[in-house]
Structure 1
Amino acid sequence: MNRIALLATPLFALTLAACASTAPSAPIQQAPIVAAPAIVMPNVPTPAQTTQQALATTSVANGFVDSAALASMTAKDSAEANSAQFYALQFGRPGAPRQWAGDKGTTGSVSVGPYVRVNNLDCRDFTHSVKVNGQDFTKKGTACREQNGNWAVVPGSGAA
């Protein structure tokens, strides 16, 4: 059996070698390459961009804070109050106050009520308390989230 294997191996190799062709092969044609059409996505903001835009436009100067308190607040106070107001309205649990602190001892808190659907808009009652220069100010009202994500105070809903 060993002898057959010894003779068969070179014979098999020669058979395979004879199958190889030395004739020139025909050139391989490649299909033309077509570029895929460009897909243009609409400029839709991400949720984070929408939140940042709404945060920038939900301003305490637009009726979320008592005007007398607003007159005494610094830019940092207003920025902290804006952020607390927006996040309380957007994500806050009803009755759970969101605290904020600004410059020179100015502090505040925002509490919100449950979501209520009015004219196809999400609305919430809010109470924004501010302590500035030792004086306490409270503003109550109702804010609704507009289609663009901004929160706006409903006219006539605020009480000092």
Structure 2
Amino acid sequence: MGMRSSSIAKFAFLAALSAAVAGCAGSGGTRPMAFGPIAAPKIGGGDALLVSLNGGILPKSAVTGLSKPDQVRALQAEYQALEKAPLGQKVAWKSQLGGNSGEVSAGTPYQVGEQNCRQYTHAATINGVPVKGQGAACRNQDGSWTPLG
């Protein structure tokens, strides 16, 4: 698939997702909520679903030790955990070259105003050193997640 076809498909996916999410917006309060199934994000230079994670929640100094493909794997795991992993289920990633790996788990989904949010943790081993990040993120109307703080 060429760059133009990929961009068109990505736009169509995001447009359909935005329409679906717009129908799910709630009003006020904080309450648990569930997320429906969604296709795994693909990255090809700058997928908004992963870019909005702003590099993820692992310490930036540790992430710089990852290759670009490993950085994408780590962000994809964070996205998948936030988007659809049940409470207690870990989303794992592993470098194809070996050595680097991690697991992401997300807490119970909750809603603040009209945004769906989750707390999450990411434990990884990068170049033989264990690292951990934790934080919270809220889901945007386009299906992307933005970390808080």
**For the superposition of Structure 1 and Structure 2, which TM-score range results when normalised by the shorter chain?**
0.5 to 0.7
Q: CA deviation at 1:60?
A: 5.7
Give the number of the structure with larger relative contact order, counting CA–CA contacts within 8 Å between residues 6 or more apart.
2
Q: Which runs of 4+ in 1 moved over 2 A?
A: 43-60
Identity in percent? 27
Alpha-carbon distance change, 95 to 128 in structure 1, aligned in 2, over 3 angstroms: same
Alignment match of 1:138 (pick from 122, 132, 138): 132
| Rg (Cα) greater in structure | 1
- Once the two structures are TM-superposed, the CA of residue 46 in structure 1 deviates from its matched residue by 3.3
- Aligned residue identity for 1:118: V
Distance 1:110 1:129, change over 3 A: same
5+ long unaligned stretches in structure 2: 1-11, 18-37
Structure 2 CA distance for partners of 1:153 and 1:123, relative to 1, 3 Å: same
Are 2:105 and 1:111 equivalent residues in the alignment? yes
Aligned match of 2:16 in 46, 51, 54? 46
**RMSD (Å), alpha carbons:** 2.4
Higher helix share goes to which structure? 1
One-letter identity of the residue aligned with 1:108: G
Aligned partner letter, 2:114 = N
Asked if 2 retains the 8 angstrom alpha-carbon contact of 1:60 and 1:85, the reply is no
Tell me how far apart the structure 1 counterparts of residues 59 and 81 of structure 2 sit (CA, whole Å): 17
Pairs within 5 Å for 1:1-160: 45-47=15-17, 53-59=47-53, 61=55, 63-102=56-95, 103-155=97-149
Q: Kindly indicate whether the alpha-carbon contact (under 8 Å) linking 1:129 and 1:139 is maintained by their aligned counterparts in 2.
A: yes
What do residues 79-119 of structure 1 show as CA deviations (whole Å, max 9, x unaligned)? 11111111111010111111100134100000000111012
How many Å apart are 1:76 and its aligned residue?
1.4
Query: Which structure: greater strand fraction?
Result: 2
> Which sections of structure 1, spanning at least 5 residues, go unmatched?
1-42, 156-160
**8 Å CA contact 1:54, 1:151 repeated in 2:** no
